Amino acid sequence: LEEAAFQLQQIFRIDISIALNILGIESMRAGHCRAAFTCFKLAADRGYSKAQFNVGLCYEHGRGTEKDLEKAGFYYCQAASSHHPMAQYRYARYLLQHGPGSCWDRHHKAVALLEQAAGAGITEAQAYLGVFYMRGLQPQEKRGLKYLLQAANSGDAQSRYHVGVCYEQGLGVQQDLAEALRHYRQSAAAGNGQARERLRA
């Protein structure tokens, strides 16, 4: 009976958190940012990762509360520790740009989080890692190209442009101008200005 009671409490706690998060989303859509933030915060403080992510967004962009990047990082970290993929991406970006601790530790942790987010299909993380591996102090071109292709295949026109550059310059792949043109055309068709310029050149 004690176990059953505990399970019911957990279900009730989760259901309340889900309801609060949904109410927060609807409030945000209606332009009631302060009410939305209150709902997100209540659900986040109950340990609900989707709400923790939303609180992070509110603090990052100053929606419904004052802008506070440190608090945004805190809530992204909480959600990321519950394997929320978009929070992993956002927290990794926070670590690289604003995080505490030594540069090496932040860098190592951020890359691990980006890898997890990219593996979960977050296009932004795939694109970020693609460029990161291409332009790092010790470039890993094949690895970078792998992530750029993943992001491009998810519809990211900028990554598609970078894939074209890889084929044009032979970065991580054998040089192939016809293949470069194909990627530039796809990127340009999706509205990428750099690809249009490259095609003119």
Interatomic CA distance for residues 122 and 144, integer angstroms: 15
Distance from the Cα of residue 76 to its chain's centroid = 11
Give residue-wise pLDDT tens across range 139-160: 789 999 999 999 999 999 999 9
pTM over 0.75: yes
For the domain made up of 1-84, the CATH class stated in words is mainly alpha
Triad 157, 161, 164: Cα angle to 5°: 140
4-13, 140-149, 172-181: least confident range: 4-13
As a whole number of angstroms, the distance between CA 14 and CA 18 comes to 6
158-170: pLDDT as tens digits: 999 999 999 999 9
Label each residue of 179-193 as H, E or C: HHHHHHHHHHHCCCH
Q: What is the pLDDT of residues 38-82, one digit of tens each?
A: 999 999 999 999 999 999 999 999 999 999 999 999 999 999 999
- How many Cβ atoms from other residues are within 10 Å of residue 180's Cβ? 20
